[in-house]
Amino acid sequence: MGCYDEGSKETTHGLSEEIVRLREYEKNDRTVLYLRDCPNAKAKIDDAFLDDDDDDDSKNTVIIQAVQLELAKGVDDETVSKIARKYATSCTRVNLNAAGSGDERVRQFGNLGLMSVSEYLENKLECLELFWNTKITSKGVLSVCRFCHENLKVLNLSGCVQLDDEGVREISKCRKLRYLDLTRVPKMTDASVALVVEGCRELEFLSLYANSQLTNKSFEKIDGLTNLKFFDACGFNKLTDVTLFKLPKTLRYANFSWCGSLRSEGICHVAENCRHLELLSVHGNRNITEKLIQSLQIGQKETKTLKVLDVKGCVNVKTNTLEALREFFHSLQSIKFHT
């Protein structure tokens, strides 16, 4: 995605405190099974569980509420199932981002492990992150949506390239969902995304980065997402101003890099009406004119929240250096976002 990074806590773009909390895992928190970057999580889990007494209800027993296995090696279906079964009564958050990926010794977990998570944790589960899992299919996601729909608030399926419309459409049943990442899911179409937009009305975060197959048909009901703060449509070369005129005024992060069919009218509408914008990228768009700068001045007149503005490649925007733009937008920190 973009290269701008001031640190996760500084770039929340207005997301609710609850969503920020659900996605944070403290290494020294005893209620978190923290194995991020562990070189052999499978062995670590086996050792930890070997002598455990599952029936131990003593007051000294630590209750695990979250599992952090991001980038851990040795994470197969058996390991994920063991964890889900062990913490079935208490765990509400599971981060399996890139867990087991690129590991030649142990096969990455897939649908079986994911189905164990959803069936054991059921509607206790509030946060599930599965970034860059190339084995999970719609079968696994269907299980998540069936068992965990009541309280699931965060779902990260970025890079789950085997996922298709069958699984994506089921996500629309997770009515409390507030954070959804469907970056690089090439098999989904407008039909399923439209159902998600229509069904998940509490969304604050919606990333659809690098899904150039999507069109305006996905977003006919996007004006109903009245809490939306983060919208990433990078690479949507079929997207037009029709969608931009429907976007909620609550947006703080708007990434339209490489959206070549967008024109000044739509972008200027966003600039003027989304008055709390912190990030706006129209990187690579040759249709955008100098009028964007004027519209941003209108939108930012009172709020002055804009920190990142990327107009690189917008040949008709003449005010394009950091020094020149800071004359108008005093909070601006960077003009480089998308590379």
Residue-wise burial string across 106-137, b where 16 or more C-beta atoms lie within 10 A, e elsewhere: bebbbbbbbbbbbbbbeebbbbbbbbbbebbb
Between 138-148 and 111-121, two packed helices, what is the crossing angle to 10 degrees? 0
- pLDDT for the residue numbered 74: 93
What are the CA-CA distances from residue 65 to residues 26, 127, 275 (Å)?
A: 12, 11, 38
- CB atoms < 10 A from the CB of 56, how many? 8
Looking at this protein, which amino acid is placed at residue 310? D
What was the pLDDT predicted at 188?
Answer: 98
Residue type, 286: R
**Residue 6 pLDDT grade (very low, low, confident, very high; cuts 50, 70, 90):** very low
Contact 91, 127 (CB under 8 A): no
Q: Is residue 178 part of a domain?
A: yes
Q: Please report whether residue 71 resides in a domain.
A: yes
Q: Higher confidence at residue 58 or residue 165? A: 165
Query: Which of the four pLDDT bands, split at 50, 70 and 90, describes residue 60?
Result: low
pLDDT of residue 5: 39
Structure tokens at 63: 């209750």
41-50 core/surface letters (b: 16 or more CB in 10 A; e: else): bbebbeeeee
- Per residue in 274-295, pLDDT tens? 999 999 999 999 999 999 999 9
Check whether 244 has a pLDDT greater than 80: yes
Q: What are the strands, taking DSSP E only, across the chain?
A: 32-34, 66-68, 93-95, 127-129, 154-156, 179-181, 205-207, 230-232, 253-255, 279-281, 308-310
Which tens digits make up the pLDDT trace of 172-189? 999 999 999 999 999 999
Above 80 in pLDDT, residue 9? Answer: no
CATH code of 102's domain: 3.80.10.10
Choose among 214, 284, 276: nearest CA to 256: 284
pLDDT band at 107, cuts 50/70/90? confident
Between residues 144 and 4, the one the model is more confident about: 144
pLDDT of residue 335: 97
Cβ pair 108, 133 in contact under 8 A: yes
Tell me the C-alpha distance between 264 and 53, whole Å.
64
pLDDT, average across residues 258-287: 98
Q: What pTM does this model have?
A: 0.95
Give me the chain's average pLDDT, please: 94
Distance spanning both ends of the chain, measured CA to CA: 8
Count of the separate structural domains present in the chain: 1
pLDDT tens digit sequence for 191-243: 999 999 999 999 999 999 999 999 999 999 999 999 999 999 999 999 999 99
DSSP assignment of 161-208, as one string?
A: TT-BHHHHHHHTT-TT--EEE-TT-TB--HHHHHHHHHH-TT-SEEE-
pLDDT band per the 50, 70, 90 thresholds, residue 3: very low
**Nearest-10 crossing angle of helices 41-50, 77-86:** 40
Find all residues with CB under 8 Å of 46, minimum gap 6, and list them: none
Q: Answer yes or no: is 160 within a domain.
A: yes
Averaged pLDDT for residues 95-99: 97
Q: Can you read off the two tokens belonging to residue 8? A: 């996760």
User: Could you list the residue range(s) of the whole structural domain that residue 44 is in?
Assistant: 17-52+62-203
Amino acid at 199: G
Q: What is the pLDDT of residue 338?
A: 80
Distance, CA of 68 to CA of 77 (rounded, Å)? 16
Query: How far apart are the C-alpha atoms of 267 and 317, rounded to whole Å?
Result: 13
Of 124, 35, 119, 136, nearest in space to 85 by CA? 119
Q: Does residue 312 belong to any structural domain of this protein?
A: no
Grade residue 2 by pLDDT with cuts at 50, 70 and 90: very low
Reduced to 3 states (helix: H, G, I; strand: E, B; else coil), residue 94 is strand
pLDDT tens column, 132-167: 999 999 999 999 999 999 999 999 999 999 999 999
What is the DSSP code (8-state) at residue 289?
B
Assess if residue 225 is contained within a domain.
Answer: no
- Does some domain include residue 11? no
